[in-house]
Amino acid sequence: MKLKTITAGVLALALTTSCVSKKVYKDLENKYADLKKENREMADQNAALTKEKNELDLKAKDLEAKLTAASDERDKNAAELAATKKILDPLKASYSALEKDSNSALESNMKKNRELLAQLEAKEKALAAEQERLEKLKNELQERSARVNELEGKMNAQQASMAALKDKLAKALNSFQGKGLTVEHKNGKVYVSMENKLLVDSCSWTVGPEGKKAVVEVAKVLADNPDISVLIEGHTDNVPYSGSGPIADNWDLSTKRATAIVNIIRENKKVDPKNLTAAGRSEFAPIAPNETAEGKSKNRRIEIILTPKLDEINKLLNEL
């Protein structure tokens, strides 16, 4: 607006003085250009200031809103503080009263705690002793378990050995089977049973040739198994002995028959005589009824009972 006024004045002056020099005119023109440039710069500054003012107005409104919210929060906190203080003051008074009365209760509780601690220490000692006892029992159980495993191993090996012995005897005596001779493996022992018809005549204890062959084969197997105990049992039927000579009764007859078998086995010098035992059972261990001739024949027999020596097993059993 100011620029337009100045420009109008300059033009008016130029019109009234038609005889203005070129130099003056040129100067006026330059001043006009400078003023125009200055006007544009001032307009730009005005626009920038207007924009900055608008931004400041927005910030001022935002700050006013935050101030209002902060004031509200402050008033709320002040109210809550007042309410809390109203509650806290009576609590402080109550705490002071309780603190005065708590000394005796505290001393009583401390005494109880000391008693409980002493009891706890005693229980810990007892628990430690029990733990030590249990650990000892655990070690003993492990040792016993190891011995049991060892025992089971020896027993299984022994069973296998006796089964092999039974097979060996059965093979050696195969030609006599069906002639009143049987070989069995039961209760951990091997039983060779020979009826008297294979071994001796009725009322006699002298072993015949066929029976001696069978006993010699048994002796060969025994010679290869020195750790076997051998019990030779003589058995009769229930008919009382009626023969003549130095025999008193069935007890005597059964014993002499068992002894006759022992003597044949002893002819094999590889058999240890300490492993041999002769016994007479008379008629009191029958395996068949004595009411029939067939039953009586079965009961008149020699049994050779092979038993493994149990020294190691008994030792392990005693250690359990």
Whether 73 has a pLDDT exceeding 60, the answer reads yes
Rounded Cα gap, residues 228 and 215, in angstroms: 16
Collapsing DSSP to helix, strand or coil, 116 comes out as helix
HSE of 210 in the Cβ direction (CA atoms, 13 Å)?
A: 14
Rounded Cα gap, residues 286 and 74, in angstroms: 116
Domain assignment of residue 24, yes or no: no
Length of the chain: 320
Domain assignment of residue 169, yes or no: yes
Domain assignment of residue 89, yes or no: no
pLDDT for the residue numbered 279: 96
Is the pLDDT higher at 21 or at 286?
286
Domain assignment of residue 16, yes or no: no
Domain ranges, residue 206: 153-319
- Among the listed residues 211, 310, 194, 219, the one whose alpha carbon sits nearest the alpha carbon of residue 271: 219
Domain assignment of residue 302, yes or no: yes
pLDDT tens digits for 39-64?
Answer: 888 888 888 888 887 888 788 888 88
Phi/psi at 182 (nearest 5 deg)? Answer: -135, 150
Which residues are registered as beta bridge partners of 181? 177, 194
- Among the listed residues 278, 201, 280, 193, the one whose alpha carbon sits nearest the alpha carbon of residue 236: 280
Instruction: State how beta strands 181-186 and 189-195 pair.
Output: antiparallel
Q: Read off the CATH number of the domain in which 239 is found.
A: 3.30.1330.60
pLDDT tens digits for 272-306?
Answer: 999 999 999 999 999 999 999 999 989 989 999 99
Which two structure tokens, joined as six digits, stand for 37? 């440039």
Which two structure tokens, joined as six digits, stand for 280? 């007479």
Which residues are registered as beta bridge partners of 301? 195, 235
Greatest distance between any 2 Cα atoms in the chain: 202
Domain assignment of residue 70, yes or no: no
Whether 24 has a pLDDT exceeding 90, the answer reads no
pLDDT tens digits for 162-215?
Answer: 899 899 999 988 888 778 889 999 988 999 998 888 887 666 778 888 889 999
Contact between residue 215 and residue 233 where contact means Cβ atoms under 8 Å apart: no
Query: Which amino acid is located at 61 in the chain?
Result: K
Domain assignment of residue 228, yes or no: yes
83-89: long-range contacts, CB 8 A cutoff, minimum separation 24: none
Contact between residue 248 and residue 203 where contact means Cβ atoms under 8 Å apart: no
Give the count of domains, the chain: 1
Domain assignment of residue 84, yes or no: no
Is the pLDDT higher at 260 or at 242?
260
Query: Which amino acid is located at 297 in the chain?
Result: S
Contact between residue 32 and residue 10 where contact means Cβ atoms under 8 Å apart: yes
pLDDT tens digits for 80-137?
Answer: 888 887 787 777 777 676 666 666 677 777 888 888 888 888 888 888 888 888 888 8
Instruction: State how beta strands 228-235 and 181-186 pair.
Output: unpaired
